[in-house]
Amino acid sequence: MSYGLTVLGSVNLDLIVQVADLPQPGETVTGGIYTALPGGKGANVAVAAKRLGAETEIMAAVGNDDYAAQALVNLEKEGVYLDAVRRVDAHTGLAFITVSADGENQIAVASGANAAYAPQDVPKLCSNVLITQFEIPTATIEGALEGYNGFVTVNASPVRTGVDAILKRADLIIVNEGEAAQYDLKNYAGLVAITLGAKGAEMRIGNKVLARAAPPKVNVIDTTGAGDAFAAGLTVALAEKQSPQDALDFACAVGALTTTKLGTQTASPIRAQVDALLGR
């Protein structure tokens, strides 16, 4: 690609237990299968974008512990630039994920280094495109955006208050249905993409719907990380100047393919797989 893409976000190690059914409140479910995989919304997006062909760097924080190397291994393997990753005095972020046989999941996160990632730890942004999410401090995102003139995607997840200035700066906001209901986006002037689970997604500007897309039929194994892959796919496609409809079709295909494998980063498709699924 002729442009550069920066992901400003979280890096975690995902500790995953596969079970037949998700536990109910107060219930213990046994017989699970354990796996540890690199994760974090920022790292997931960075790997997905790199696999789709974008020259990608990540700005993030990890701890001075043994988890850090495990959390960064896929980013390094995929060729994501890690020069801006900072080591801080906190444990590397950890996500505890339970996945059921039908692909649904429950996630609890111990933020660690992600919460300790401070504005002064972020170097000046020099790329043409930025993707960020809300697993790092609001002040850190706001500081990074000061004076930045590139295209900004905000995947406004998890839901957070006090982020109006960030949302107003965004060129593209990505939310799911539940998140969309918790933000006041009625007066937002930029692009808004809303993911609708198995029904696909729509993209609008103001009250005008620009595109609707349904995901291709796939064999769902694990839905974890599909939203992160969608965000990477939509941003990459728009940066390539694809039309709104083509970009949304592309992002839905990226998200769908991600659900066909266990995990997040390891499940992200490469560009050839997405193009083949779309018949391009």
Higher pLDDT, 14 or 86: 86
Are the beta carbons of 105 and 99 closer than 8 angstroms? yes
In a domain, 242, yes or no: yes
Percent of the chain with pLDDT strictly greater than 90: 85
Does the active-site annotation cover 228? yes
Q: Is the pLDDT reported for residue 213 higher than 90? A: yes
109, pLDDT greater than 90: no
223 compared with 155, residue with greater pLDDT? 155
Closest Cα partner for 149 from 175, 126, 115, 118? Answer: 126
**Residue 81 Cα distances to 62, 85, 130, angstroms:** 15, 9, 14
The pLDDT confidence band at residue 3, using thresholds 50, 70 and 90, is low
Asked whether residue 176 is domain-assigned, the answer is yes
18 inside domain: no
User: Which pLDDT score, from 0 to 100, does residue 187 have?
Assistant: 82
Would you say the C-alpha torsion 27, 18, 39, 48 has a positive or negative sign?
Answer: negative
Q: Would you say residue 155 lies in a domain? A: yes
Q: What percent of the chain has pLDDT over 70?
A: 99
Residue 95 within a domain: no
Q: Which domain holds residue 182?
A: 4-11+40-89+114-278
Establish if 100 belongs to a structural domain: no
Res. 2: pLDDT tops 50: no
Provide the domain count of the chain.
Answer: 1
Query: Full-prediction pTM beyond 0.85?
Result: yes
Within a domain: 55: yes
pLDDT band at 1 (very low <50, low <70, confident <90, very high): very low
Q: What's the average model confidence in pLDDT over 61-71?
A: 96
Choosing from 14, 121, 222, 228, the catalytic residue is: 228
Residue 102 is predicted with a pLDDT of 86
Per-residue pLDDT, averaged over 21-48, amounts to 95
**Mean of per-residue pLDDT scores for the chain:** 94
Q: Is residue 105 one of the residues assigned to a domain? A: no
CATH of the domain at 153: 3.40.1190.20
Task: Give the burial string for 244-276 (b: 16+ CB within 10 Å, else e).
Answer: bebbbbbbbbbbbbbbbebbbbebbbebebbee
pLDDT tens, residue by residue, 222-270: 887 899 999 999 999 999 999 999 999 999 999 999 999 877 898 999 9
pLDDT band, residue 180 (cuts 50/70/90):
very high
